[in-house]
Every structure is written in C-alpha cells, then in structure tokens.
Amino acid sequence: MVNTPTNNTPRITIFDTTLRDGEQSPGCSMTPPQKLVMARALAELGVDVIETGFPASSQSDREAMALIGREVRQPVLAVLSRCLAGDIETSIKALEAAARPRLHLFLSTSPLHREHKLRISKEQVLESVHKHVSMARGYLDDVEFSAEDATRTELDFLTEVTQVAIAAGARTINLPDTVGFTTPEEIRAMFQHVIANAAGADKVVFSTHCHNDLGLAVANSLAAIEGGARQVEGSINGIGERAGNCALEEIAMVLKVRNAFYNFDTGFDTQRIVPTSQLLQRLVGMPVQRNKAIVGANAFAHESGIHQHGMLRNRNTYEIMRPEDVGWESSQMVLGRHSGRAAVEARLRALGYWLEEEELKLVFDQFKALCEQQRVVTDADLQTLMQGTSSSDGYRLASMTISDVGSRANALV
C-alpha cells in the first residue's frame, strides 16, 4: 500500500545528472537541442537541480547550457567543473543565461586517486579545495563541492576536506560513491561521521551520488539519506558511466511508497515518470530492460495464474503501487502458459464472451495447447479460439510478384 506523503513531509532535493553523467554512457550522447527537450521534461517532472553538462569538456556542452538556460527557468541549473581556474571561468561564462545557476566543483580525495591519478599530497588537495571553492564563490553564491571517490577516502581526511570546502563557501557537499564500491552500512556511517565531525556541517546540505557497479546505487542512496544526506544525485533510467547511476524514478517511488518509514518526499509529479523515461529512451536509443523497476514493460505485468487470481480479487495482493501513479495506463494481465482459468475467463468476459462451465473448460484446454506453441496469447488469439479455429499457424506466403513499374515506364519512353 502506498503511504501518501502529507504537505508537511520534508523534502529530499533531487539533483538530476542525466544530461551530464548520464550522457557519458557509451552511445548515449545528446545534441544541444536534444538536451533542451530532455531538460524541459525534467523540469515538468519536478527535478530540483539539473546538471546540464561539463562546459570545459566540449563546445556542445556550452551550447546546451546556453539553450537550456534561456528557456528552463524554475530548476537550479548546474554545470560540472574541475578545480582549475580555466574550468571555473569557462563554467561561469556558460552559466550566464541561467536564472538559478550552480557551479559544481570536484576533486579526487582517495589515496588511490591522489597517488595514481593526480599525483598530489593530502596538503595539496586541501589547498586546491580552499583555493578553487573560494574562487567559485567570488562569482556566485551557489557552489557545490564533490570529493570524488569519497567512499574510498580515509574518514578523517574526508572530514577535513569537507571542513575546508565549507569554510571556503561551499553550500552543498557531495560525498559520492564514484565507483559503486560501498555498501549501505558503510555509506550511512560515512555520512554520519562527516556530519558529526566537520565544523560547519549544520550550515550546508549533504548530497549523495552513487554508481551502480555492484547494483547497490539506490540502496546506498537511501542509506545515505538515513545517514543525513538531504540531496540525492542520479539519472532517469539510471543511465551513466559503466553500470550507471542511482535511478531517480526508483528513489522517488521508494520515498512515496515507503513514506511511513523514510518520512521524506520529492517534488516529482510521479505520473510523468514513465513518459519521461520513454522520452529518454527515444532520445539516446537505449531501451530499459523489461523487468526494470517502475518503468520496465513488465513492472506491472502479471502472467502467473496465482498472481492473476489475486489481482482479480484485490490488486493490492500483488501490486504495492498503482501503475497510473507513475504514468502507465493500467496493469497488464499477460496470458501465457502460467495463466490460470480465472484470468482467461476474466479476459473473455472483457471481450464480451460469457461462457458456461463446460464451454470455459473446452476453451481453456485449447488455450493451454496454444500456449505450448507461443509465449503470449493475445485477444485476437482468444477470439479465434472462440470461433473454433486455431491461429497458431499464422499466415504463410504462397507467392509474390515484384513489378518494377518505374523501369517499364522508362522503357516505353
């Protein structure tokens, strides 16, 4: 059963990175006009912050930010920047059209990244954070700092980095699980430790950004909320680097369905979830798997006879949310080899056939025989069964003639 949030339910800020981290998925690049179309949909969905790209990385990202900034005015618009003066200046220029701009700075903090990627010391990390967050605050008020690979960073050093970023003016602190390595218990404890020990932690918003390499992105994001995070970063359909990001549609519906447990809500118009998901699939050409939670084709489909019988009695027996609440038209009772008589009879009645017990037994036996030849039985198949013929053989091409009308016309000239 869905626990409907009240107007007084506290909100989790949703930071959408579909257009930046999501677009970094192999094969998922978008043109600036496509990004604008998606940004409009994200704004209508109710996303709080839209990260539009990484301006220092490409002209295309700069153009996309300019297009989106001129039209999408309600959400905060963020861009990503390395802790480099040149990146910051490029990003600030890209944000000029935004009504509510945010600069999102990041720097690696883990020992692995310090030694092998950046080749700098802890002291140099702290100096860079202070210098570049301060520089960014000289341009605008809304600055977010991310400690890349936070979940593999020493806790005491991560706390020190956070403290320096807060002192330099960061208003949001993101502690990402950059490589999807952590577990719910670990990330909850990490947030609790940093929030309890970093000076000024009570003056900023803590954010979580989890990758899905071990399939734990949503679970880890929820655990981060339990640890004190009040912003969740992710993407629609969970697209992103490697195995992707936290799927925002799943976060939104967990907080809605399990509101009595978490006591948080989002600003999502949840009925727009499926249309937004399908729009993204069309734009990037990456369909979601059928069994994907919330937006997959099978998310509200039932074939098992036991489940169908329960659904016919009371939908709450096997559905914890209504398909209409996320943008689907209705549940689907898929007729196949696992379906029972109750589901077949219900579908026949919906098609206008009311059968006596013996007639129903005969049709159900024919239905079961047909299921041995094909995976799904459609309404047309049922109607054919009712007419006393089988459609299992389908149609066979007997002959075909190809006529090149154009060639003959040319020959007559």
Among all chains, which residue has been given the structure tokens 């519906």? 253
> pTM of the predicted model, to two decimals?
0.86
The candidate with the shortest Cα–Cα distance to 16, out of 188, 258, 187, 236, is: 236
Q: How many residues does the chain have?
A: 413
Cβ atoms within 10 A of the Cβ of 10, count?
10
Rounded Cα gap, residues 330 and 310, in angstroms: 16
Predicted pLDDT at 386: 87
Average pLDDT over the chain, rounded to an integer:
91
User: Which CATH superfamily groups domain 13-284?
Assistant: Aldolase class I (3.20.20.70)
Q: How far is CA 296 from CA 211, 322, 326, in A?
A: 20, 14, 11
Whether 391 has a pLDDT exceeding 50, the answer reads no
Report the DSSP pairing between strands 332-333 and 301-302.
parallel
* 76 beta partners: 49
Residue 269 has pLDDT above 70, yes or no: yes
- Per-residue pLDDT at 409 exceeds 70: no
Q: How confident is the model at residue 387, as a pLDDT?
A: 84
- Give percent of the chain with pLDDT exceeding 70: 92
Q: How many angstroms separate the CA atoms of 10 and 229, rounded? A: 13
Output DSSP code: residue 153: S
pLDDT bucket at 46, cuts 50 / 70 / 90: very high
Distant-in-sequence, close-in-space partners of 78: CB < 8 Å, separation ≥ 6 = 15, 49, 50, 51, 52, 101, 102, 103, 104, 144
Number of separate helices (H) and strands (E) present in the chain:
16, 10
Please tell me the predicted confidence (pLDDT) of residue 76.
98
Q: Is the pLDDT of residue 77 over 70?
A: yes
* In the block, residue with structure tokens 């009308």: 405
**Sign of the C-alpha dihedral computed for residues 360, 363, 366 and 371 taken in this order:** negative
- Sequence-distant (≥ 6) Cβ neighbours of residue 298 within 8 angstroms: 290, 291
- Positive or negative: CA dihedral 318, 383, 375, 344: positive
Q: Cα–Cα distances in Å, from 30 out to 18, 63, 248, 403?
A: 10, 12, 19, 42
What string of H, E and C letters represents the secondary structure of 267-324? CCCHHHHHHHHHHHHHHHCCCCCCCCCCCCCCCCEECCHHHHHHHHHCHHHCCCCCHH
Cα 245 to Cα 193: distance, rounded to the nearest angstrom: 24
Look at 411 and 80; give whichever has higher pLDDT: 80
Burial label, 254 (beta-carbon count in 10 A; 0-12, 13-18, 19+): buried
Q: Which residue in the block uniquely carries the two structure tokens 């509101």? A: 259
Enumerate the β-bridge partners of residue 171. Answer: none
Nearest to 307 by CA among 318, 297, 321: 318
Q: What is the pLDDT of residue 403?
A: 53
CB contact at 8 A, 314 and 345: no
Amino acid found at 401: T
Cβ atoms within 10 Å of 313's Cβ, excluding its own: 10
Per domain, the residue ranges of the chain are: 13-284, 301-386
Q: Which two tokens stand for residue 12?
A: 């989790």
pLDDT tens per residue across span 308-344: 778 878 888 889 999 999 999 988 877 888 888 888 8
